[in-house]
Structure 1
């Protein structure tokens, strides 16, 4: 049975967060900035970023809010949680029960928030992200963990960029791979990152 994702976060949380950041940094909302950008003749994202940085000192995520308002949102950012998870497993329906079981665990566990993305699902504690559910290939799903544990047994080292804390993973090939050990690792990662 598919989990109920009505409380799962989507990209809208990032949009809202970036808009709030812009307002805190500048004292003006996204609509004010978009109007000023149009008045200044800004024609594309690169010009907007330069104009906001060089003339107004606004950088980073706060710029995204204005860019999306002026030039449009990427299509995937407008999707609901169910649409995002459906898209991730559309060509691999045999792997969907693994993702559904992980999401059901997350929904039932106190202190876990689900963030849907185009290609993966993030699991967050009140403090920060502690796990990521990703279709690894055509036959398996990886649970990437922010966890201080040495590789061994089911826990594998994950290849990551320097500075990426999600360097441990558990690979799942079926719902039969989901057992007390996996859920214990998820609970430990949640505790370490809360």
Structure 2
């Protein structure tokens, strides 16, 4: 199984994205933010929006100015422990999904406070969340996917780009259909 990216690796890739989008590095942008006189997060986000700088680079600059959130600097193991301590029966289901997901080409694993994502070189294609004490949802970014078993609408699971989900209760649910859906989602997002 691939190792989840550390927050430092995610920070470095976001710095690279900042440079690609603006032509300027983190030191230059940190100086601009300091010189802007902005004193709170909402004002800084508005200031960055005015400069067409949103998404991950915006969050990076906000965190650089006001501090990184604890969930971001926590280890993947600590975050996963927080997600599955009260639902240990679902942890093997997550592990099975990660084995399948990371066997697909250049998939990166990103562990967040309440979910795990699978990311292609281009963007997130899957989201894994322990939704209830006995159900884990595999959300997929599958544009135009027909809603038929095992696919259900993914309302409230991640953002609007995750459009379908597969409910999973046991390791046995991570079958060939799920493997094929993960592969389809990856291919649709590279």
The aligned counterpart of 1:125 is 120
Per the alignment, do residues 190 and 73 of structure 1 end up closer, same or farther by CA in structure 2, a change over 3 Å counting?
same
- Are positions 1:59 and 2:56 aligned together? no
Length-normalised TM-score, structure 1: 0.79
The counterpart of 2:65, out of the listed 50, 67, 70, is 70
- 2: distance between equivalents of 1:125 and 1:50? 30
Which position in structure 2 is the counterpart of 1:105? 100
1:119-147 deviations in whole A, cap 9, x for unaligned? 11111223322211111111100111122
Alignment of 1:144-163 (within 5 A): 144-147=139-142, 148-159=144-155
CA drift at 1:42: 3.9
Classify the secondary structure of the residue corresponding to 2:93: helix
Aligned counterparts of 1:50 and 1:150: Cα–Cα separation in 2: 38
Q: 2:14 aligned to 9, 12, 18, which one?
A: 18
Q: What's the offset of the Cα at 1:47? A: 4.0
CA drift of 1:175 comes to 0.9
Any unmatched runs of 5+ in structure 1?
none
| Structure 1 residues 59 and 120: alpha-carbon distance in aligned structure 2, compared to 1, 3 A threshold | same
Check conservation: 1:31, 1:69, Cα contact below 8 A: no
**Is the CA contact 2:101–2:182 (under 8 Å) kept in the aligned structure 1?**
no
Confirm or deny: 8 A CA contact 1:18 1:64 kept in the other structure: no
In 1, Cα distance between the equivalents of 2:49 and 2:148?
A: 47
The answer to whether the aligner puts 1:89 opposite 2:100 as a matched pair is no
| Between 80-89 and 40-49, the greater mean CA deviation after superposition | 40-49
Larger radius of gyration: 1
Deviations, residues 143-165 of structure 1 (Å, cap 9, x unaligned): 1112243122222222259x823
1:145-184 pair list within 5 angstroms: 145-147=140-142, 148-159=144-155, 164-184=160-180
Alignment match, 2:132 = 137
Uncovered stretches (5+) of structure 2, i.e. residues with no partner: none
Query: How far does residue 18 in structure 1 lie from its aligned partner after superposition?
Result: 3.5
